[in-house]
Amino acid sequence: MKTEREVKIRQVEIRDAFWTPMQKKVLDVVIPYQEKVLRDEIPDVEKSHAIENFRIAAGLSKGEFYGMVFQDSDVAKWLEAVACALALRPDPALEERADEIIEIIEKAQQPDGYLNTYFTIKEPEHRWQNLYECHELYCAGHMMEAAAAYAEVTGKEKLLHVMEKMADHVIDRFGLEEGKEHGIPGHQEVEIGLMKLYRATGKEKYKDMARYFLEERGKNPDYFYEEKLKRNWQYWEPYSTERMDVSYNQAHKTVYEQDEAVGHAVRALYMYTAMADLAGTDGDERLFGACRRLWENIVEKKLYITGGLGGNPEREAFAGNYELPNDMAYAETCASIAMVFFAHRMLEACVDGCYADMIERELYNGTISGMQLDGKSYFYVNPLECVPGVSGKAFGYRHALPVRPGWYACACCPPNLVRMITSLGKYCWGENDSTIYSHLMIGQKAELEKAEIIVETAYPWKGETAYIISPKTREAFTLAIHIPYYVDFSKEAAEITVNGERVDAPALMKKGYVYLTRKWQVQDRVEIHFPMEVRKIYANQQVRENAGCVALMRGPVVYCFEETDNGAGLQSLRIPGELKAEANFCREGILKGNVLLEIEGFRMKGDGELYSEKPPVKEKQRLTAIPYYAWANRGENEMRVWVPEE
């Protein structure tokens, strides 16, 4: 079961009560704001200079390079976001401005294909000497993604040609062949870019190069160390001959030998994404096995319930197995987005509901928690517990801010969110010769090869979804619909009907998908109904931080408790053993439209002593839980996902 055709953003028009407003917000607020930042038109935020760097490198302007060594990638990410935006809603003025920027990029490219403004402007003699720290391949990877997206949506191939030239330059320089360097990127990403370039151009050499970078990695764990000794300088720190810990960027073992997700989470997940893409594309079982081992380590031992990834804030990294601190979590927005990419590539390689479930977990929780409801401010770090006065301030907690700031010097998460939200359609479907796979229950109109399908749904708030099918073929084909893991068709209330007739859902289920095969007729209607119950979730006993606690979920949505609704001292709340919860739409205020939970719970009250033999008494308290992703939208206040059970 492999989906063979990538679905394009253009094929899908999202018409969804949850996602359409979010897409609109991203188009109306975020993309224009980011453009202004890149053009240095916004006062009081960290200067970007990213477009100006390209102008200087192109000889169109005079000046010095300014910004991070990977500043170019901000332009790449924005261009990719623009491509996705244009797929959703034409905007000739925006497209013209993007075209102009692409022309500057083309002029900034060197005659040999090399493209990177930092080295071109500042240290041309040091090109390619510091793969470990200097992100040349990383920036190239993002620009390849932008080029592929821009070509797909607008049909314009200028940037694609620029990046082909750059990719050819990279291929000339690195590889196993005689005379080439055995280089690998310090920050993985070019592998994803090369796979997209391969798909956009059909040229195998780009896929081969992606395979080279993936398979070369970790063969010589001292590669970066030897590179450093050879070059005699460092970018971020004073030069030292100390050996580096290359598990940080997953270069400690070959990808086939790695069986634990370690190091910088985003680097890791970008690598796993490319591995899964290549495994699926080439039908490479061995590589898929490597992906699967890493996947299992993550989902069994290193994943926050919100989909957050990275329990070690120091290096934005995975922590040890079961080390999932709530208040000190890193759980970078970009890591959750990268997990969507990884899960999507796994799903393409092997249709299994566990991957679609992961995309859902990320989409409704740990990714969009990164954005304020108004689209104007962003979290990098998505903790599962917030304590004003400690979070963002105290030792060990400075990274875990209690409210979303407006912008960051290292602006990776906001544009990453933009491209995920605008390209949502891509994650909804898979298709091959026999089957259409519906991965996500999102309201939309989709133009697939075998059918046009309209999806109407109240998901994630209600388990009621209808698929209205207009086939484009008279042949029978299969519609395989992903059923979320928590739905139980052995219960009476859950059912699937086709044109009003109930089908034997359990019998038709395989690995999280219900397979409906027939000669579909125009206006055939599949309905899926299931009760949306509040679920009490227990963490593995090895997770220290969640001992004695439970979290609440309803559908794919993880809930949290905020001080605003429940008073201070959330640790003294108790979820009752016998849970009675009401789920109600919020009718007013910033949370309007979200389903909130009301629970008859308790609050423990002590005698006021710091230490006492007197047990605290239990007082009834009506508790309110809100969707986790919407936390910190009502000012700085306490928040907690895991609450002690009575």
The three-point CA angle 505-509-514 to 5° equals: 80
What residues contact 177, with CB distance under 8 A and at least 6 apart? none
In the set 226, 300, 475, 582, which binds its own copies (CB under 8 A)?
Answer: 300
Q: How far is the CB of 441 from its own copies (least distance, A)?
A: 20
Q: How far is the CB of 4 from its own copies (least distance, A)?
A: 32
In the set 61, 606, 622, 635, which binds its own copies (CB under 8 A)?
Answer: 606
Q: How far is the CB of 641 from its own copies (least distance, A)?
A: 11
What residues contact 296, with CB distance under 8 A and at least 6 apart? none
> Where does this chain touch its own copies (CB under 8 A) — which range of 276-284, 460-468, 604-612, 621-629?
604-612
State how far the Cα of 69 lies from the Cα of 1, in Å rounded to an integer. Answer: 42
Q: Is 36 in the site for its own copies (CB under 8 A)?
A: no
Backbone angles phi, psi at 599, to 5 degrees: -130, 140
Q: Which 8-state DSSP code applies to residue 281?
A: H
Give the residue from 246, 245, 241, 260 showing the smallest Cα distance to 217: 246
Q: Is 375 in the site for its own copies (CB under 8 A)?
A: no
Q: Is 604 in the site for its own copies (CB under 8 A)?
A: yes
* 522 class by beta-carbon count within 10 Å (0-12 exposed, 13-18 middle, 19+ buried): exposed
State how far the Cα of 164 lies from the Cα of 147, in Å rounded to an integer. Answer: 9
Q: Is 394 in the site for its own copies (CB under 8 A)?
A: yes
Give the nearer residue to its own copies in terms of CB position, either 110 or 571.
571
Q: How far is the CB of 327 from its own copies (least distance, A)?
A: 8
> Where does this chain touch its own copies (CB under 8 A) — which range of 131-139, 404-412, 500-508, 602-610?
602-610
Catalytic residue (one of 95, 227, 316, 332): 316
- CB-based contact 311:330 (threshold 8 Å): yes
The three-point CA angle 45-308-342 to 5° equals: 100
Q: How far is the CB of 265 from its own copies (least distance, A)?
A: 14
In the set 571, 593, 600, 634, which binds its own copies (CB under 8 A)?
Answer: 571
In the set 389, 405, 506, 635, which binds its own copies (CB under 8 A)?
Answer: 389
Give the residue from 369, 354, 251 showing the smallest Cα distance to 309: 369
Q: Strand 581-585 relative to strand 643-644: parallel, antiparallel, unpaired? A: unpaired
Give the residue from 125, 95, 116 showing the smallest Cα distance to 162: 116
Tokens of 250: 């997953």
Query: What are the CA-CA distances from residue 79 to residues 107, 153, 279 (Å)?
Result: 16, 12, 28
In the set 396, 405, 506, 635, which binds its own copies (CB under 8 A)?
Answer: 396
Helix 265-282 with 204-216: angle, nearest 10 deg = 130
Q: How far is the CB of 573 from its own copies (least distance, A)?
A: 9
* 235 class by beta-carbon count within 10 Å (0-12 exposed, 13-18 middle, 19+ buried): middle
Q: How far is the CB of 302 from its own copies (least distance, A)?
A: 8
Q: How far is the CB of 316 from its own copies (least distance, A)?
A: 11
Tokens of 601: 């719970």
Q: Does 501 qualify as catalytic in the annotation?
A: no
In the set 303, 358, 359, 480, which binds its own copies (CB under 8 A)?
Answer: 303
Give the nearer residue to its own copies in terms of CB position, either 182 or 398.
398
For its own copies, the binding residues in 59-78 under the rule CB under 8 A are none
Q: Is 531 in the site for its own copies (CB under 8 A)?
A: no
In the set 390, 466, 508, 586, which binds its own copies (CB under 8 A)?
Answer: 390
Q: Is 619 in the site for its own copies (CB under 8 A)?
A: no
CA atoms in the 13 A half-sphere facing the CB of 577: 1
Collapsing DSSP to helix, strand or coil, 457 comes out as strand
How many residues are listed for the chain in this entry? 646
Give the nearer residue to its own copies in terms of CB position, either 410 or 547.
547
> Where does this chain touch its own copies (CB under 8 A) — which range of 161-169, 194-202, 251-259, 613-621?
613-621
Q: How far is the CB of 184 from its own copies (least distance, A)?
A: 26
Tokens of 367: 């990714």
State how far the Cα of 402 lies from the Cα of 305, in Å rounded to an integer. Answer: 19
Give the nearer residue to its own copies in terms of CB position, either 473 or 612.
612
Q: Is 613 in the site for its own copies (CB under 8 A)?
A: yes
For its own copies, the binding residues in 486-515 under the rule CB under 8 A are 486
Q: How far is the CB of 312 from its own copies (least distance, A)?
A: 6
Q: Is 238 in the site for its own copies (CB under 8 A)?
A: no
Give the nearer residue to its own copies in terms of CB position, either 82 or 329.
329
Q: Is 117 in the site for its own copies (CB under 8 A)?
A: no
In the set 535, 565, 593, 618, which binds its own copies (CB under 8 A)?
Answer: 535
Give the nearer residue to its own copies in terms of CB position, either 280 or 576.
576
Q: Does 257 qualify as catalytic in the annotation?
A: no
State how far the Cα of 204 lies from the Cα of 61, in Å rounded to an integer. Answer: 37
Collapsing DSSP to helix, strand or coil, 595 comes out as strand
Q: Is 265 in the site for its own copies (CB under 8 A)?
A: no
For its own copies, the binding residues in 305-344 under the rule CB under 8 A are 305, 312-315, 319-320, 323, 328
- Cα torsion 406, 412, 413, 419: sign: positive
Give the nearer residue to its own copies in terms of CB position, either 356 or 418.
356
Collapsing DSSP to helix, strand or coil, 243 comes out as coil
Give the nearer residue to its own copies in terms of CB position, either 405 or 616.
616
Tokens of 420: 């995920």
In the set 90, 506, 616, 635, which binds its own copies (CB under 8 A)?
Answer: 616
- CB-based contact 308:319 (threshold 8 Å): no
In the set 121, 503, 509, 537, which binds its own copies (CB under 8 A)?
Answer: 537
Tell me the sheet residues that pair with 520: none
Catalytic residue (one of 84, 291, 412, 428): 412
What residues contact 18, with CB distance under 8 A and at least 6 apart? 442, 459, 460, 461
Give the residue from 187, 141, 186, 188 showing the smallest Cα distance to 167: 141
State how far the Cα of 516 lies from the Cα of 58, in Å rounded to an integer. Answer: 56
Q: Using CB under 8 A as the criterion, which residues of the chain lie in contact with its own copies when the complex forms?
A: 299-301, 303, 305, 312-315, 319-320, 323, 328, 387, 389-390, 394-396, 486, 535-544, 547-549, 551, 569, 571-572, 604-606, 608-616, 644
Q: What are the residue numbers of the active site? A: 316, 412
